[in-house]
Amino acid sequence: MVVGDFPIETDTLVIGAGPGGYVAAIRAAQTGQNVTIVEKGDLGGVCLNVGCIPSKALIEAGHKTQSAHGNEEMGITAENVSVDFSKVQEWKGQVVNKLTSGVESLLKGNKVDIVKGEVYFVDQNTVKVMDEKNSQTYTFNNCIIATGSTPIEIPNFKFSDRVLDSTGALNLDEIPEKMVVVGGGYIGIELGTAYANFGTEVTILEGTKEILGAFEKQMTQPVKKSLKKKNVNIVTEAMAKGVEESNDGVSVTYEVNGKEETVEADYVLVTVGRRPNTQEMGLEQVGIDVDDKGLINIDNQCRTNKENIYAIGDIVEGPPLAHKASYEGKVAAEAISGEKSVIDYLAIPSVVFADPELASVGYTEQEAKDAGYEVKASKFPFAANGRALSLNNTDGFMKMITRKDDGLVIGAQVAGPNASDVIAELGLAIEAGMTAEDIALTIHAHPTLGEVTMEAADVALGTPIHTM
């Protein structure tokens, strides 16, 4: 391959090497396509480097810190627990490095050409890839755009050393004494909880009536109860107005109930959403349809209005979830190869790594009713599960949504320990068209948290064993 004035040809060009892009590139290579992937930053994108993975590592370190303090109910007490936060950050970095180096090995192992640089579209089959020194033209038969998203910066809260986005919050070199979190969505709750577990005094400012508004209110109740135990102050219907910075902290002003309040902290973390990275790529040069939110319009095979250009992940409609991007990446790669793969979002789960964890897949009870289904909502509490009791972690429940006429499982919500893992069986059940009876007849190991799924199925059938 000669780099110079002549264009480099490739079958499929993938733009962005996050969980959508690198998965799309590997799957495309597996179908026999010659693939080039372009990434301006680090392989793995936001998720592996400054999102999903490092945040979960920090959350787990926070859990370990809480556990180290002991549990008086279980007769365990501890003194002089200390945290070397620099070592926490070093360990977190090792986790990230293992995964990003793994992605590079997987791409190379599948014979995907990796290119560093930024992409600008010239026409429907041509891009310029630029780094700080060079520009190279690439031509392609098909292209998959997977450029991800960026944290939204709100007025009067310009990101700085003290006004943090999620990346900044993950890379602090100290445990703050006090932190203000603007936004009570999943990122704000996850990182706020992590630092609260380290001992930080956290204040969460949420503009709506509820934190974690994407989840049912009954699911968020255990989370609010847990946050209260951690002395986290949640202020809802609060409008962040501005911040004053000093050398050693911030003063955040917000309005609630028509009254202006001020809270002092070491840092303020702003987590009010993300915007798609679809600007300054030359999409208008090609005539790709982009809506007023900056999202690219696609069909059910992730194809844009240009038949050879596809888009996946945070830059298309739907929640900004890494596993959604990976799923769409496979669909796009297979569509290019001529397979009949199409997107179906019903069985894509949503998870929040709060205390306790929250997870949802398929329809909620209300969504099912709105869609015209007659449904039965069957709940089983973790308080009646032997494994949860032995973990001393019993807050929460599973709720299974089934159709009344045939018992088909069409949704489930879990609030409780390891909800992120428990939800997988329900996603499979929905995808496979299983009924509550199918699940109830499946023998689940005892004692495990997974038994709540079987128990909820028994409730749906009207034959509960361990609850009335």
pLDDT value, residue 84: 97
Q: Which residues pair with 376 in a beta bridge?
A: 402
pLDDT value, residue 6: 87
Q: How many residues does the chain have?
A: 468
Q: Which residues pair with 351 in a beta bridge?
A: 359
Tokens of 27: 């799957």
Give, rounded to a whole angstrom, the gap between the first and last alpha carbons of the chain. Answer: 70
- CB 81, CB 65: distance < 8 Å: yes
The percent of the chain in helix, strand and coil, each rounded to the nearest 5, is: 35, 30, 35
- Report the half-sphere exposure of 281 (CA within 13 A, side-chain side): 23
Distance CA 33, CA 49 (A): 28
Spell out the alpha helix ranges (H) of 312-450: 322-336, 365-370, 386-390, 419-432, 436-440
pLDDT value, residue 1: 40
pLDDT value, residue 4: 53
Catalytic residue among 69, 323, 446, 466: 446
Tokens of 76: 């365990």
**Rounded alpha-carbon distances, angstroms, from residue 243 to 162, 182, 226, 266:** 10, 11, 28, 12
- CB 137, CB 128: distance < 8 Å: yes
Domains and CATH numbers, the chain: 8-150+275-345 (3.50.50.60), 163-272 (3.50.50.60), 356-461 (3.30.390.30)
Report residues of the chain scoring pLDDT below 50. 1-3
Question: Which helix (DSSP H) or strand (DSSP E) does residue 227 occupy?
Answer: helix 217-229
pLDDT value, residue 2: 42
- CB 400, CB 418: distance < 8 Å: no
- Report the half-sphere exposure of 306 (CA within 13 A, side-chain side): 22
DSSP-based three-state secondary structure for 301: coil
Residue 462 neighbours by CB under 8 Å, 6+ apart: none
Catalytic residue flag (residue 466): no
Q: Taking Cα atoms as reference points, which of 432, 416, 323 lies closest to residue 453?
A: 416
pLDDT value, residue 133: 87
Distance CA 425, CA 349 (A): 11
Residue matched to tokens 């179908």: 31
pLDDT value, residue 102: 97
pLDDT value, residue 119: 98
Residue matched to tokens 């959350």: 59
